[in-house]
Amino acid sequence: MEGLLIIDKPAGMTSHDVVNRIRKLLGTRRVGHTGTLDPFATGVLVLLVGRATRLARFLDVDEKEYDALLRIGFATDTGDRTGTRIEEESVPDPRLLDRRILLVAMLRFIGDIEQVPPMYSAKKIGGRKLYEHARRGETVNRKPIKINVGQLAMFEKSDKWPGPSHDIVQGTVDLGLNVICSAGTYVRTLGEDIAKAAGTRAHLAELDRTRAGRFTKEMAISLDELASMEHPETALLPMEEAVAHLPSFELWGDRVGPTRNGMPTWFEDNGSSEAEYRMVSPNRELIAIGRVDPEKKEIRPIVVLG
| Amino acid identity, position 266 | W
Length of the chain: 306
Positive or negative CA dihedral for 248, 253, 254, 258?
positive
Q: How far apart are CA 54 and CA 31, in angstroms?
A: 10
Nearest to 186 by CA among 128, 237, 266, 119: 119
Q: Name the residue among 182, 162, 185 with its Cα closest to residue 69.
A: 162
CA distance 45 to 7: 5
In whole angstroms, what separates CA 159 from the centre of its chain?
23
Indicate the SS3 state at residue 301: strand
- Yes or no: say if 292 and 274 are a contact pair by the CB < 8 Å rule: yes
Q: Which of 8, 38, 67, 174 is catalytic?
A: 38
CA distance 156 to 139: 35
d(CA 196, CA 18): 34
d(CA 75, CA 202): 5
CB of 66 closer than 8 Å to CB of 181:
yes
Q: How many CB atoms lie within 10 A of CB 272?
A: 11
Write phi, then psi, for 233 (nearest 5 degrees): -65, -20
Q: How far is CA 24 from CA 37, 41, 95, 223, in A?
A: 20, 22, 48, 12
Asked if 38 is an active-site residue, the reply is yes
What residues are paired with 248 via a beta bridge?
278
Looking at the annotation, which residues are catalytic?
38
